[in-house]
Amino acid sequence: MSEFDQSENQQKFDRIIMGYCLDMAQQALGKTAPNPMVGCVIAQNSQIVGKGFHPGAGHPHAEVLALKEAGEKAKGATVYVSLEPCNHYGRTPPCTEALIAAGVAKVVVGMIDPNPLVAGSGIAKLREAGIQVVVGVLEAECRQLNEAFIHRILHQKPFGILKYAMTLDGKIATTTGHSAWVTSPAARSEVHKLRVACDAVIIGGNTVRRDNPLLTSRSSKVDNPLRVVMSRSLDLPTEANLWNVDEANTLVFTEVESNREFQQYLRQKGVEVVEVSSLTPAKVMANLYDRGFLSVLWECGGTLAARAIADGAVQKICAFIAPKIIGGQIAPSPVGDLGLIKMTEAVELENVSICAVGCDYLLTGYIIFD
Ligand SMILES: NC(=O)c1ccc[n+]([C@@H]2O[C@H](COP(=O)([O-])OP(=O)(O)OC[C@H]3O[C@@H](n4cnc5c(N)ncnc54)[C@H](OP(=O)(O)O)[C@@H]3O)[C@@H](O)[C@H]2O)c1
Ligand SMILES: [Zn+2]
């Protein structure tokens, strides 16, 4: 075999193992905030001798778990890890030190740490210790998996995803406000998966009044995101699915001094209530950032969605499109008034993709911020 073939084969092997790291990392989807999802595999002569993924804050890092499994076999081995090993004392000692102490020969890194203040320092430390380091294997996939973590680090805000379901003529409900259901069961189960991946789901008061949603992933309480309601009036029904916190927790943001009696009623039910002066999506996102959240799913109607976009609280759009037409001049659409008057002012998306989900379509894209 020529040297060229050998390196081709090596690269192919590296990509396969990094793919495996990513699959493992994903097992902690929605559970790692404020930490990233990370997977690690240790290979000795192309045999996997150790593997691990970071289960979440307060638990060991992926590298530590993989090194533990590999034991003595880590000596002279190649370590694959989807994110640059950490090089600082946090809750746990730095992984760079553990890798050096274990005597590994080579480290293959998916992507460097997104934090500009630490980026590259872990790699430099490993190289100084004489370890060979390869960077950027399946980098795009690694970045995609941790898009929310990257956004949180770079912008000190959670990553916002606006999800909605609309008919082909752009309506999210009928003229009477009826909206069950715009899409098929397959699309709705896709929404449940999206919820598992997010730390919070947000709606406005009107959606509580009209739809009385559950907003769970229909699985266990640990998998359910925090359900967040933004209501300035606090003119909300006494009986609502969201006030039952057995399956998932609920947090209500409202204006200072709005309907104190109802606030008390909610607290008695186990619902957290936070008063904010001049309630806006940006203020809610700042509060959720302080709670360590990575990703937040906006599942609101058009009025609040427009405010969230205008506030820079939405980075990604997940639009489910049902091949049906409901019509109606005043039937609501996914995004209310943004104050734009010319088509040239439109909010544009990039990295757009579309896929079929049952008989519906899911269009995903990222808002371009200029
Ligand atoms: N198909 C879909 O994907 C989908 C998803 C969600 C909703 N919907 C439909 O959308 C309709 C409701 O739409 P909506 O636009 O009224 O949505 P919404 O999700 O209820 O948001 C509007 C509400 O948010 C609250 N709010 C708090 N702070 C605000 C702020 N700074 N700016 C604006 N609102 C703020 C207000 O509640 P208070 O009035 O309580 O103060 C306001 O009425 C319903 O018919 C529902 O069925 C459809
Ligand atoms: Zn670490």
pLDDT tens for each residue of 89-116: 877 789 999 999 999 999 999 999 998 8
* 272 SS3 class: strand
- What tens digit of pLDDT does each residue of 176-227 get? 999 999 999 999 999 999 999 999 999 999 999 999 999 998 777 777 999 9
Which residue has better confidence, 89 or 162?
Answer: 162
CB atoms within 10 A of CB 122: 25
Q: What is the mean pLDDT of residues 161-180?
A: 96
Residue bearing the CA closest to ligand 1, atom 39: 205
For 3-149, CATH gives 3.40.140.10
Ligand at shortest distance from the CA of 89: 2
Ligand 2 centre from 86 Cα, in Å?
Answer: 4
What is the architecture, at CATH level 2, of domain 157-367?
3-Layer(aba) Sandwich (3.40)
For residue 65, how far is its CA from the centre of ligand 2 (angstroms)?
Answer: 10
pLDDT digits (tens, 9 = 90+) for 25-76: 999 999 999 999 999 999 999 999 999 999 999 999 999 999 999 999 999 9
Atom of ligand 1 nearest to the CA of 172: 1
Beta strands in the chain (DSSP E): 39-44, 47-53, 78-83, 106-111, 132-135, 159-167, 200-204, 226-230, 250-255, 272-276, 295-298, 316-322, 349-357, 360-367
77 is in an annotated binding site: no
Helix (H, G, I), strand (E, B) or coil at 120: coil
Domain ranges of the chain: 3-149, 157-367
Q: Which atom of ligand 1 is nearest to the CA of 236?
A: 40
Which candidate in 3, 63, 139, 348 is catalytic? 63
The response to whether 299 counts as a known ligand-binding position is yes
Residue 63 is a catalytic residue: yes
Q: What is the DSSP letter of 330?
A: T
Q: What's the pLDDT at 1?
A: 60
Residues 6+ apart with CB under 8 A from 19: 138, 141
Residue 61, annotated ligand binder?
Answer: yes
Nearest protein Cα to ligand 1, atom 7:
301
